[in-house]
A and B are shown apart, each in its own frame.
Chain A
Amino acid sequence: MGRGAATFFYRNMEESDCVVVMGSNMAENHPVAYRWPMKARVNGAKIIHVDPRFTRTSAMSDIYAPIRAGSDIAFLGGLVRYVLNHERWNSDSFFREYLVNYTNAATIINAEFKDTEQLDGVFSGLMEYTEKVKEWPFNGFIGQYDNASWQYAGTAAQARGWVAATQQSGEQRVGERDRDSARPSPASPKTLPKGPPYDALVRSLLKPPPQRDETLKHAGTVFQILKRHFARYTPEMVARVTGCPQETFLKVAETILANSGRDRTTSFAYAVAWTQHTNGPQVIGCCALLQLLLGNVGRPGGGIMALRGHASIQGSTDVPTLYHSIHGYMSHPSAQQKHATLADWLASETTARSYWANTPKFMVSYLKSMYGDAATRDNDFGYDWHPKILGDHSHMPMFVAMNEGKVRGMLCIGQNPATSLNAAVERKGLRHLEWLVVKDNWVTETAAFWSKAPEIQRGEVKPQDIKTEVFFFPSAQVAEYDGSFTNTFRMLQWHFKAANPPGDCRSDLWFTHQLAKRLKKLYAESAAPRDQGFKNLTWDFDPNPAQGQEPRVTGEPDGLKILREINGYYTGDPNRHVAGFGDLKDDGSTTCASWIYCGVFPAPGKNLAANRQADPPGTRGAQLGWGYAWPANRRIMYNRASADTRGRPWSERKKWIWWDGQKWTGLDVPDFPVSKPPSARANPDRVGLDSQSGTDPFIMKDDGKGWLYVPTGLVDGPLPAHYEPLESPVKNPLHKQQWSPVLKYWKRDDNAVAAVGDARFPYAITTYRLTEHYLAGAMSRWNPWLTELQPEPFVELSPELAGEKGITNLDWVRVTSPRGSVRVKALVTRRMRPLTIDGRVVHQVGIPWHWGYMGLSVGDAGNELTALVGDPNVSIHEGKAFVCNVEKA
């Protein structure tokens, strides 16, 4: 759909007629947000929970559908097929109008495209992967696709911004052929128009518009491809793959369809149980596909709620700690991409027909924010000083590289890798470091990896043999400094300091600020070319002397100065803030660190993140006066789709944004050019939104449509197909291809994986969190109020499996995977159940992963069992589905 975030706001789940929670245990892990589905339920909405375990979310649902961990696409694909074949869906004018006009259903795809149904589980274009950069051979792919055949017929669609991390970084070279043929090669820079202004460059990227058949009859339309692709996802197949009884599946399907349409909307909520698979983005894509078919996107009570697992994780991808992108989801300059010059970067990263046509303005303003006055038109605004990435620098490859001695030091802030994926390998990696800085609230497992880790306690490793120098910085907590959080639906909320931190505890802001100041001093005299970026980096966050500081806690930066840097200002007058990203310029006259946040601080003294004006009780609204949501304070994205093609609300009950004859108006900020009428025609000769029509709600997409079929942006296929997890107790019942042919796997002796059906590891296992604890435990396992509520780690298993293994409740048991084993107590419960998969009984167990060897409540970490196995799009691990054995200890 075009943006990497929840499409609507969780309060709006109150207006849903049906809420499907899948890939999430929302009641346990987002209890405060779960207030809104509960309100919907009190008002009569149906709540559905689809999950391997019967959890506290299931307890609060009308329908609970059990599935095997890792079979989500089979379930969702079954829903897609159910909808496509349903009489009401085919005859209701609402679905047809939404489908034909707001999605790419009518678009015709390249005739060379071959589907998984034709190639027994793989798409056309599969090829071998070879590492390209010898300094960084850690990308981990087992294969790759050339996506040239997946494109729209006659024109290659482009997607930029919120696309696969591995595509942005260039480590996956999908579509290179397409990019080369679609525009002049940057290898001959003369052909690239010069800038600024970059209008000519953007115009040079224009391609013909896609071919469409609005009758949807052409065999090459997305619609017809979908029908063929999902034909085998029958209720019988769903039951065979997922273990969910057919009648339960059908009840779910009926309920969702009955609560979708002109006057009703269904929303989905997911979290990391959809992402932590070797095909996570495809699971989410399958949900997006379903929601687009059902007309549930851009409308009140409809959409997809991406529930983030950690406070401000959304913020940390917006203003990124991601390896592959710079602020605002722009691709990080990469040694693996055609990113040699600024013009090359712009030509690679700009799409001419979507809102991304403005990319040069965002990028130049970003460079001005980085390098200030030193960034000029003549030096490409300092583009050459910007670091370039070499490949996948995300968590797993980083620890593989660490084990190979390629990483010298690590700053570890708000993370606890010593109990993270395949924990023994991560701790081994830490032992290869020269230095390690841990900044946390407590001496975590990572800070104590050299003295308290299991291998130390077992005597296998001696502390005196570890050369890593460990520094520990005690951290201030959130109420001890000013700053902002960006919550799960993109809303920034300012928080104010309530008390001083104790002792030497300092905020992350303080630490980063002080580190930057010291590094700048260190590099101040350097003449080395590679240090010029650091020398020119603007860093002006010291508070004004007049402000005064708490005598004991000195050296904190001024949070509002950082917010101003993020928001942007006019370079000629730093006191004049940029009011919104529409005002950004590509000539260096504006600066803006993160374009999507532009507008949060539109004038000095006007910090919109600190807004606390709620809508009056009892009124319908978008709560626009509370905090500030990117983009441009829109609460429901793509909300043009809440009106029909002529701009009228689909129904009185589901009114949100509409055309009043002169402009778009309603309860929210329109996610559409405000004065562009519904009748506006697409102008194929113009760039940006002028090239899109008045009925194109998905303004971040090249064609303005919601993508049912994804020609580019995902590296593992244009459509979701069911693959088994890399470790699975069963053969893929759907295809010969067992697992994703392009997944990431880091082959090491200490990262072994079980073969399909390995009798030594017969059970499916999933990992999860509990309400009472938080992540790796640094914020909960030291707190006696919480440890008394959940005092020890355990494994949940069914009485049937317990009976087979002679295990009784509270017995000590040993759970083993090919990587390691943990000793935990058994919690025998009928909330777990054996599933019948492809004709045989498969047992499934679950283990919370919160624990470790430090703190008040200690126990074996669930991640001793997990593997370094990743998804090819975003390098997320597969901690939600693998195999194990369980024995009485």
Chain B
Amino acid sequence: MAEPMGFFTDTTVCIGCKACEVACKQWNQLPAAKGGLNSLSGDSYDNTRRLDGLHWRHVKFVEQFTPDRSEGRWLLMSDVCKHCVQAGCLEVCPTGAIFRTEFDTVVIQSDVCNGCRDCIGACPFGVIGINPASGTAQKCTLCYDRMQAGLVPACAKACPTESIQFGTIAELKKRAAARVQRLQGQGEKRAYLYGADDKMLGGLNAFFLLVDRPEIYGLPPDPKMPSRNLTSSSLWATLGAIGIGVLGLISFRHRGDRDA
């Protein structure tokens, strides 16, 4: 296996230009939703609103201003599939369409996907959706095809400010830690990394530098695997099975009584 690869997205240098969204669509041949006939969302400059089967990169715009404007920020962040080390989608996929690549990334094979949507519910970040063109579940592949050819993923290549950085996870973590330290030194005390360590789903292969709580960016503070419910649900299943067994025994007994 090659070294684990991924994205480090430094939101403090994202200029919200959406070049990543367009470059992604161009390389991956994703059409615009409804042929481009969209309407204004009214939510800042975000008119595509979410990651889904047609939008594998999505730039979020968070306006934070006090009523008197004495404090004001416009947080910009390019969101993407996290390529979790412990990936919920991979765990639930019944057909084996989702697999882990030699780069430790998570990819959905369209020709094996049956469109059951289990993965959509299993993803704690909501990155997967159905591509209406193929009828299958789709999301960022971290440009698996480009990586196999030794190329940088389209979004990172197009990013003019190096907000999206691509590389080995080990190298990116080093860079990210240095960047946090630098920002802290420059007075940005709120800077921290989201998903860089293995506490979050074993580590996110696409992790982020943020300057506010995860919820502000629409990210779960404590994402969980679908299998987290395994113990409790299996307990209930066991109890249910016992109950049904007892009921069965009772009914057999009654029948026996009648027979007798």
Measured in the bound complex, the distance between the Cα atoms of B34 and A783 in whole Å is 13
Whether B38 and A830, one on each chain, are in contact in the complex, defined by CB atoms closer than 8 angstroms, is no
B178 CB, min distance to chain A CBs, angstroms? 11
Whether B40 and A794, one on each chain, are in contact in the complex, defined by CB atoms closer than 8 angstroms, is yes
Whether B74 and A831, one on each chain, are in contact in the complex, defined by CB atoms closer than 8 angstroms, is yes
Whether B72 and A64, one on each chain, are in contact in the complex, defined by CB atoms closer than 8 angstroms, is yes
Say yes or no: is A58 at the interface (Cβ < 8 Å to chain B).
Answer: yes
Per-position 1/0 for A769-808, Cβ under 8 A of B: 0111000000000011111111110100000000000000
Whether A791 and B160, one on each chain, are in contact in the complex, defined by CB atoms closer than 8 angstroms, is no
State whether A785 and B40 are in contact (beta carbons under 8 Å apart), knowing that A32-B160, A34-B15, A790-B45 are contacts in the complex.
no
Measured in the bound complex, the distance between the Cα atoms of B17 and A60 in whole Å is 12
Whether B74 and A791, one on each chain, are in contact in the complex, defined by CB atoms closer than 8 angstroms, is no
Contact of B44 among A64, A789, A829 (CB under 8 A): A829
Measured in the bound complex, the distance between the Cα atoms of B13 and A41 in whole Å is 9
Measured in the bound complex, the distance between the Cα atoms of B75 and A771 in whole Å is 17
Say yes or no: is A442 at the interface (Cβ < 8 Å to chain B).
Answer: no
Whether A785 and B26, one on each chain, are in contact in the complex, defined by CB atoms closer than 8 angstroms, is yes
Whether A810 and B42, one on each chain, are in contact in the complex, defined by CB atoms closer than 8 angstroms, is yes
Q: Is the interface of A mostly helix, strand, loop or mixed?
A: loop
Say yes or no: is B236 at the interface (Cβ < 8 Å to chain A).
Answer: no
Which chain B residues lie closer than 8 Å to A331 at the CB level? none
Measured in the bound complex, the distance between the Cα atoms of B69 and A573 in whole Å is 68
Per-position 1/0 for A52-86, Cβ under 8 A of B: 00101111100010100000000000000000000
Whether A788 and B36, one on each chain, are in contact in the complex, defined by CB atoms closer than 8 angstroms, is yes
Whether A31 and B160, one on each chain, are in contact in the complex, defined by CB atoms closer than 8 angstroms, is yes
Measured in the bound complex, the distance between the Cα atoms of B19 and A27 in whole Å is 12
State whether A833 and B13 are in contact (beta carbons under 8 Å apart), knowing that A785-B26, A790-B45, A790-B47 are contacts in the complex.
no
Whether A788 and B161, one on each chain, are in contact in the complex, defined by CB atoms closer than 8 angstroms, is no
Measured in the bound complex, the distance between the Cα atoms of B118 and A409 in whole Å is 64
Measured in the bound complex, the distance between the Cα atoms of B18 and A42 in whole Å is 21
Which chain B residues lie closer than 8 Å to A792 at the CB level? 39-40
Which chain A residues lie closer than 8 Å to B15 at the CB level? 27-28, 31, 34, 38, 56-57, 59-60
Whether B42 and A788, one on each chain, are in contact in the complex, defined by CB atoms closer than 8 angstroms, is no
Whether B36 and A785, one on each chain, are in contact in the complex, defined by CB atoms closer than 8 angstroms, is yes
Whether A56 and B36, one on each chain, are in contact in the complex, defined by CB atoms closer than 8 angstroms, is no
A353 CB, min distance to chain B CBs, angstroms? 43
Whether A58 and B38, one on each chain, are in contact in the complex, defined by CB atoms closer than 8 angstroms, is no
Say yes or no: is B256 at the interface (Cβ < 8 Å to chain A).
Answer: no
Which chain A residues lie closer than 8 Å to B182 at the CB level? 42
Measured in the bound complex, the distance between the Cα atoms of B26 and A785 in whole Å is 9
Question: Which residues, 47 to 77 on B, are CB-close (under 8 Å) to A?
Answer: 47-48, 63, 65, 67, 69, 72-76
A612 CB, min distance to chain B CBs, angstroms? 18
Which chain A residues lie closer than 8 Å to B17 at the CB level? 27-28, 31, 56, 771
Say yes or no: is A35 at the interface (Cβ < 8 Å to chain B).
Answer: yes
Measured in the bound complex, the distance between the Cα atoms of B162 and A54 in whole Å is 23
State whether A42 and B13 are in contact (beta carbons under 8 Å apart), knowing that A35-B161, A64-B72 are contacts in the complex.
yes
Contact of A789 among B26, B48, B65 (CB under 8 A): B48
Which chain A residues lie closer than 8 Å to B47 at the CB level? 788-791
Whether A783 and B65, one on each chain, are in contact in the complex, defined by CB atoms closer than 8 angstroms, is no
Say yes or no: is B33 at the interface (Cβ < 8 Å to chain A).
Answer: yes
Whether B25 and A31, one on each chain, are in contact in the complex, defined by CB atoms closer than 8 angstroms, is no
Which chain A residues lie closer than 8 Å to B33 at the CB level? 788
Contact of B25 among A64, A785, A790, A825 (CB under 8 A): A785
Which chain B residues lie closer than 8 Å to A692 at the CB level? none
Say yes or no: is B21 at the interface (Cβ < 8 Å to chain A).
Answer: yes
Whether B13 and A784, one on each chain, are in contact in the complex, defined by CB atoms closer than 8 angstroms, is no
State whether A830 and B69 are in contact (beta carbons under 8 Å apart), knowing that A771-B17, A787-B37, A790-B47 are contacts in the complex.
yes
State whether A791 and B38 are in contact (beta carbons under 8 Å apart), knowing that A31-B15, A38-B13, A771-B17 are contacts in the complex.
yes
Whether A787 and B32, one on each chain, are in contact in the complex, defined by CB atoms closer than 8 angstroms, is yes
A33 CB, min distance to chain B CBs, angstroms? 8
Which chain A residues lie closer than 8 Å to B48 at the CB level? 788-789
Say yes or no: is A189 at the interface (Cβ < 8 Å to chain B).
Answer: no
Measured in the bound complex, the distance between the Cα atoms of B47 and A28 in whole Å is 16
B31 CB, min distance to chain A CBs, angstroms? 7
Say yes or no: is A856 at the interface (Cβ < 8 Å to chain B).
Answer: yes
Measured in the bound complex, the distance between the Cα atoms of B18 and A786 in whole Å is 9
Question: Which residues, 65 to 101 on B, are CB-close (under 8 Å) to A?
Answer: 65, 67, 69, 72-76
Say yes or no: is B16 at the interface (Cβ < 8 Å to chain A).
Answer: yes
Chain A: which residue is nearest B64 at the CB level?
Answer: A830
Which chain B residues lie closer than 8 Å to A567 at the CB level? none
Question: Which residues, 15 to 34 on A, are CB-close (under 8 Å) to B?
Answer: 27-28, 31-32, 34
Measured in the bound complex, the distance between the Cα atoms of B37 and A233 in whole Å is 50
Say yes or no: is A809 at the interface (Cβ < 8 Å to chain B).
Answer: yes
Q: Which of B13, B19, B44 has the most A CB atoms < 10 Å from its CB?
A: B13
B118 CB, min distance to chain A CBs, angstroms? 28
Chain A: which residue is nearest B22 at the CB level?
Answer: A785
Contact of B39 among A771, A772, A791, A831 (CB under 8 A): A791
Chain B: which residue is nearest A781 at the CB level?
Answer: B36
Say yes or no: is A827 at the interface (Cβ < 8 Å to chain B).
Answer: yes
Whether B161 and A34, one on each chain, are in contact in the complex, defined by CB atoms closer than 8 angstroms, is yes
Whether A772 and B18, one on each chain, are in contact in the complex, defined by CB atoms closer than 8 angstroms, is yes
Measured in the bound complex, the distance between the Cα atoms of B162 and A35 in whole Å is 8
Measured in the bound complex, the distance between the Cα atoms of B47 and A41 in whole Å is 29
Which chain B residues lie closer than 8 Å to A783 at the CB level? 36
Whether B37 and A825, one on each chain, are in contact in the complex, defined by CB atoms closer than 8 angstroms, is no
Contact of B18 among A771, A830, A831, A856 (CB under 8 A): A771
Say yes or no: is A857 at the interface (Cβ < 8 Å to chain B).
Answer: yes
Which chain A residues lie closer than 8 Å to B19 at the CB level? 31
Say yes or no: is B35 at the interface (Cβ < 8 Å to chain A).
Answer: yes
Per-position 1/0 for A818-830, Cβ under 8 A of B: 0000000101011
A405 CB, min distance to chain B CBs, angstroms? 41
B246 CB, min distance to chain A CBs, angstroms? 58
Chain A: which residue is nearest B18 at the CB level?
Answer: A789
State whether A784 and B63 are in contact (beta carbons under 8 Å apart), knowing that A771-B18, A789-B18, A791-B37 are contacts in the complex.
no
Say yes or no: is A44 at the interface (Cβ < 8 Å to chain B).
Answer: yes
Say yes or no: is B186 at the interface (Cβ < 8 Å to chain A).
Answer: yes
Question: Which residues, 235 to 251 on A, are CB-close (under 8 Å) to B?
Answer: none
Measured in the bound complex, the distance between the Cα atoms of B72 and A274 in whole Å is 25
Contact of A856 among B36, B42, B45, B67 (CB under 8 A): B36
State whether A833 and B160 are in contact (beta carbons under 8 Å apart), knowing that A27-B17, A34-B15, A789-B21 are contacts in the complex.
no
Measured in the bound complex, the distance between the Cα atoms of B161 and A41 in whole Å is 11
Which chain A residues lie closer than 8 Å to B76 at the CB level? 56, 59
Which chain B residues lie closer than 8 Å to A856 at the CB level? 35-37
Measured in the bound complex, the distance between the Cα atoms of B212 and A825 in whole Å is 31
Measured in the bound complex, the distance between the Cα atoms of B15 and A28 in whole Å is 7
Measured in the bound complex, the distance between the Cα atoms of B163 and A38 in whole Å is 10
Chain B: which residue is nearest A64 at the CB level?
Answer: B72
Pick 8 A–B contacts, CB within 8 A, sort by A.
A31-B161, A42-B179, A59-B73, A59-B74, A784-B32, A787-B37, A789-B22, A856-B35
Name the 6 nearest CB pairs between A and B, nearest first: A784-B36, A784-B32, A830-B65, A59-B74, A791-B38, A787-B36
Residues of chain B having any CB pair with chain A under 8 Å: 13, 15-19, 21-22, 25-26, 31-40, 42, 44-45, 47-48, 63, 65, 67, 69, 72-76, 160-162, 179, 182, 186
Sample of 16 more A-B contacts, CB < 8 Å, known A34-B160, A41-B13:
A27-B16, A31-B17, A35-B161, A42-B13, A56-B15, A56-B16, A56-B17, A56-B74, A59-B73, A771-B18, A784-B35, A785-B25, A786-B36, A788-B38, A791-B47, A792-B39
